Amino acid sequence: MFVRKVGNSHKYSHTTEVARIMPQEDIIERIKNYERINIDFSPKIPPLKKELDKTVIDVRYCVISPYAFVHIYWDTKIYELVYEIEEPILNPEEEKYREQIIVAMRDMINFQTIVGKNKESLLDYIDKRFKILAIEMGMDISYESYKKVFYYLCRDFMGFNEIEPILRDYFIEDIECNGVNSPIYVVHRIFRNLKSNILFKTNTKLESFVEKLAQRCGKYVSYAQPILDGSLPDGSRVNATYTKDITSRGPTFTIRKFTKTPWTPPQLLSFGTLSPEMLAYLWILVQYRMSLLITGGTGSGKTSLLNAVAFFIPPEARVVSIEDTRELNLPRENWLPSVVREATGVGDKKGIDLFTLLRSSFRQNPDYVIVGEVRGNEAFVLFQGMASGHSSISTMHADSVDTLIKRLETPPIELSPTLLNILDVVLVMTHAIVKKQETRKLKEIVEIVNVNDDGTAVTNTPFTWNPMDDKFYSKKTSKVFEKISARYGLRVDDLELEFRRRTSLLFKLYQNKVFGFEEIQNIINEYYKKPEQVLKRFGIQ
C-alpha cells in the first residue's frame, strides 16, 4: 500500500488524513514504466583454490547476477562442508504475486515458440507479459518487488526452477536428488561432495520437475515409462525415475554436467591427470591411427580424456561419433555426430540403437570412429571395423585390462580372442584420493601385444602412475611404436625423437598457460603442417 503526501509536506497526518490506495490508472502508468532489469546467467567464473583444511573454507560467488549466489562453508553443527544457494527472499505478498503470475503465464507462454529465441528476447518476452498480467490483475507492486518476482519468473520459465542456480555453477559436475524431503547433493570440481540447502518438499512438486526434465530432453516419462535417460539442451546428461514403485522415496534425478568446451590437453596437465609424456605418446598413436579403448569406473574422467585425445586427430580427417547421449564436443568441422533414438511409435518399435548406428557409420567413409561407450553387441561391430582398418577410440566400464578382456569375452559381448588382438592400447582411468584431495588420474597405458586363445593377455605397460608418491613413470620400450614402424616404414628412432619434441611442446603450452580451446586446436593443426615453425616459436630444438 502506498501513502500519499499531504499537500507539499513530507509529513503524514495521523489525525485528519487517511491513507488511500493509489488509483488504478496511477498503478498502470507506474508498472508500464518499470525498467526491465538485466539478468546475467553466465557471470565471470571466480578463481577458487583447494584447501587441505576444510574447516577454514568459506567462499561465496555469483552464479546468476545479481540475484543468485553460492555460499560454501564449514558447518560446525554437522561437521561437514555445505553448499547453500542464496536467492532473493520474498515476503508473503510477493510470494502471492509470484504464484498468481506463474499460473497465469503458463496459459500464455508456449515454450516451443520461445525456445529458439535468444536470451535478451526471452527476457523482454517475460517482462512484457508480467507487466500485462500485473496491470490486468490490479497488482499494486513496488519496483523492488517487481525485480524479485521477475527474477523468479525468468528462472522458472527459462531455466529449471530451484535447480537453475546449481546448473549455472561452472564448478558443479553432478546434481543428485534422492527423493522427497531429501537434500540435493552436488559434486563440486574443487570441494567434491556437498550437501545443499535445496530440497523438494512434496511428491507432486518433484514429479512436476521430473516431467519438466523429460520435456526439455525431448522425451516422455509416465507411470508406464518411469525411467528417463536423456540430454538437456546444454548437453548435460539426465537420469531420473518417476514413481515410488521404482524408488521408495519418490521421484529422483541425477544430472551430469559437462563443460561447454572440453578440457584441452594442457589443462589436463595442469590438473595432474597425466604426464606430458603420456600426452605426446597418445598424440603419435592418434596420428598413426592406432585403436584406443579408455576404461575406468563411473566419474573417473573417461569422457574428458576422450575429448582431449580427439584434439590430436589430424585436421583433414573425417570423424564419425556414436553416443547414447550427447557428451562429445570435438574441435573440428569434418565431424558427423550420431546419437541413438528410442522407439517413436508403431512403425518404429526398436528405435535406432548403437549397433545400428555403428554398422551404418562404416559406410560413411570415416577415418576415425568414436563410440561414447561400449556395452553390448555393438562391440563386435566396433572390433570388426578396427580389423578393416578404421581407427577407433571408445570408452568402457572396467578398472583393469584383465577385467576389460573378461567383459569383452563374456556375454552379452562374447568377442573371440582373435578379434581382441586388433586392439592396440588400453588407457585405464581412476578416481583417486591424493593428499586427502579427490582427483582423476590416468593410472596406466597398456599396450596389447597378444591375447591368447584362453583369454590371457600379453601386454606391455610403457606408462604408469604411482599413487604412493603421486608421480608418473615410463619405460623406453614401446611395442606400439614398433607396430607403427613396421606399418608405415618409419624408423623407431625417428618416432622417439618426435615423441620427445611433442613432449616438450605440450609441457611448454602448460607452462605458458596456453589453455584456450581454439588456440590449442590451431597450434596442433599448424604442427601437422609446419612442425619446425611451431617448435621454433616455443623455443624447442
Task: Give the residue-averaged pLDDT of 300-311.
Answer: 92
Residue 110 is predicted with a pLDDT of: 60
Confidence of residue 347 (pLDDT cuts 50, 70, 90): low
Residue 382 is predicted with a pLDDT of: 86
Instruction: Kindly list the distances between the CA atom of residue 131 and the CA atoms of 96, 97, 105, 118, 358, in Å, as whole numbers in the listed order.
Output: 16, 12, 11, 20, 52
- Residue-wise pLDDT tens digits, 33-44: 899 889 999 899
* 412 prior amide bond cis, ω within 30: yes
Specify the range with the lowest mean pLDDT, choosing from 170-174, 290-294, 296-300, 345-349: 345-349
CA triplet 533, 538, 541: central angle to 5 degrees?
Answer: 75
Give yes or no for a contact between 469 and 452, defined as CB atoms under 8 angstroms apart: no
Q: In terms of Cα–Cα distance, which of 316, 307, 499, 320 is closest to 392?
A: 320
Give yes or no for a contact between 470 and 333, defined as CB atoms under 8 angstroms apart: no
Residue 14 is predicted with a pLDDT of: 35
Confidence of residue 357 (pLDDT cuts 50, 70, 90): confident
Which residue type sits at 506? L
Task: Give the residue-averaged pLDDT of 366-395.
Answer: 87
Q: In the chain, what are the domain boundaries?
A: 25-170, 265-537
Specify the range with the lowest mean pLDDT, choosing from 85-99, 276-290, 329-343, 383-397: 329-343
pLDDT at 199 over 70: yes
Task: Give the residue-averaged pLDDT of 126-132.
Answer: 90
What's the residue count for the chain?
541
pLDDT at 154 over 80: yes
The set of residues, in sequence order, having a beta carbon less than 8 Å from that of 380 and lying 6+ positions away, is 413, 414, 415, 419
Confidence of residue 3 (pLDDT cuts 50, 70, 90): very low
Give yes or no for a contact between 295 and 464, defined as CB atoms under 8 angstroms apart: no
Give yes or no for a contact between 97 and 149, defined as CB atoms under 8 angstroms apart: yes
* Cell numbers linked to 54: 576444510
Residue 531 is predicted with a pLDDT of: 95
* Half-sphere exposure of residue 383: CA atoms within 13 angstroms, side-chain side: 23
What does the alpha-carbon distance between residue 459 and residue 81 come to, in Å, rounded to a whole number?
44
Q: In terms of Cα–Cα distance, which of 62, 55, 57, 137 is closest to 96?
A: 137
More confident residue, 323 or 398: 398
pLDDT at 510 over 80: yes
Residue 114 is predicted with a pLDDT of: 55
Q: How does strand 192-196 pair with strand 80-86?
A: parallel
**What's the predicted TM-score (pTM) here?**
0.78
- Residue-wise pLDDT tens digits, 412-438: 888 888 888 999 999 999 988 887 777
* Half-sphere exposure of residue 349: CA atoms within 13 angstroms, side-chain side: 1
Task: Give the residue-averaged pLDDT of 478-500.
Answer: 95
- Quick one: DSSP state of residue 162? G
pLDDT at 164 over 70: yes
Q: In terms of Cα–Cα distance, which of 426, 494, 411 is closest to 461?
A: 426
Give yes or no for a contact between 463 and 281, defined as CB atoms under 8 angstroms apart: yes
More confident residue, 107 or 218: 218
Residue 11 is predicted with a pLDDT of: 35
Residue 9 is predicted with a pLDDT of: 34
Instruction: Kindly list the distances between the CA atom of residue 30 and the CA atoms of 38, 101, 277, in Å, as whole numbers in the listed order.
Output: 19, 18, 66
Percent of the chain scoring above 90 in pLDDT: 56
Confidence of residue 365 (pLDDT cuts 50, 70, 90): confident
Q: In terms of Cα–Cα distance, which of 373, 346, 345 is closest to 357?
A: 373
Task: Give the residue-averaged pLDDT of 322-337.
Answer: 81
Residue 210 is predicted with a pLDDT of: 96
Give yes or no for a contact between 521 and 331, defined as CB atoms under 8 angstroms apart: yes
Task: Give the residue-averaged pLDDT of 472-491.
Answer: 94
What does the alpha-carbon distance between residue 390 and residue 385 come to, in Å, rounded to a whole number?
6
Task: Name the CATH superfamily for 265-537.
Answer: P-loop containing nucleotide triphosphate hydrolases (3.40.50.300)
Helix (H) or strand (E) holding 397: strand 391-397
- Residue-wise pLDDT tens digits, 271-300: 999 999 999 999 999 999 999 999 999 888
Specify the range with the lowest mean pLDDT, choosing from 126-135, 168-177, 354-363: 354-363
- Residue-wise pLDDT tens digits, 42-89: 899 898 988 888 999 999 999 999 999 999 999 999 999 999 999 999
Task: Give the residue-averaged pLDDT of 354-362.
Answer: 82
Residue 10 is predicted with a pLDDT of: 35
- Residue-wise pLDDT tens digits, 6-33: 333 333 333 333 334 555 677 788 888 8
Give yes or no for a contact between 178 and 249, defined as CB atoms under 8 angstroms apart: yes
Q: Which residue bears the cell 541413438? A: 340
* Cell numbers linked to 53: 583444511
Residue 19 is predicted with a pLDDT of: 35
